[in-house]
Amino acid sequence: MAVITTDRWTFSTVVDPSHADPEGELATLVMTGIYGSGMEKGIEMAYQSLNNSSAAGPGGAFFREDAKLVVIFVSDEPDWSGGWTGYLPFFDTIKATGDFIPYGVIGDPPSGCGSSYPHAQYGAGYWDLIDYYGGSWYSICASDWGVQLQDLAGEVTGRRSFTLEEDDPIIDTIEVTVNGQITGDWEYDESTNSIIFAEGHVPDEGQTISIDYAVWGCGEES
C-alpha cells in the first residue's frame, strides 16, 4: 500500500507485510493535514501517480503486474480533475478488465452529508468512477467508522468481481456455485462481462467458485 493526496501524486514509502509495524506506519502516512489545495483533484493525482514508474506506475516498486489495483479516494468535496470520463481510457488499460477497482470515502450522493459544519459535499466524479468500475463508496460522515472500515477491508481483500472467459453469455443460464453450493447473491455486469458478488456475500479466500453458462450461438456451457 502507498498513500498520495488529492493534490500531490508522489509518495515516499510503500508499506508491505515485511515492515515491522505496517499498521502503524500506514496510520502515520494517512495523517496528511488540511493545508493542501482547495481544488482537490483525486482522480488526476491517481492518474499522475499510476502513469509514472517513479511513483505507482508499471516498472516501479509499487506496481505488481499480477495483482488487482485498488484505489481508495477520501474526500469531503467533489473531484476537480476536469471530467472523470476523460480518464477511462487510461484506467481501462492500466489493468485487465475487472482488476482495477476504485473505492471512495466521500460525501453522500446526491447532495452531500452533515447538517452543520463541517459539511461534506457530494463526491461527484469519485462516485461516478466508482460506480462505473463496480467499486463501493462509504459515507465520510458516518458516525461508526469501525463498521465501515471492516466492510471496506473485507471488500478490498476479497475478490468480488469475476470476468467470464466467453463473451455474450445467455444471462438466464448463468449458474454460480461456491464450494459446490448454488448461490444467487450476485449480478451480471454487461459492461465488463463479469459476475459481481453482492456486498456481504464475497467468497472467502480459498473457497472454490464455479461459473457455468451458455453463450449465444453455442449449445455448450463454458
Q: What is the pTM of this model?
A: 0.70
pLDDT tens across 133-192, in order? Answer: 988 899 999 887 777 777 777 667 667 778 898 889 999 999 999 999 999 999 998 888
List Cα–Cα distances, 104 to 13, 43, 138, in angstroms: 22, 11, 6
Q: How many CB atoms are located within 10 Å of the residue 138 CB?
A: 20
Average pLDDT, stretch 46-55? 96
The whole-chain average pLDDT of the chain stands at 88
Residue 113 has pLDDT above 90, yes or no: yes
Q: Which residues of 182-195 are buried (b: 16+ CB within 10 A; e: fewer)?
A: eeeebebbeebbbb
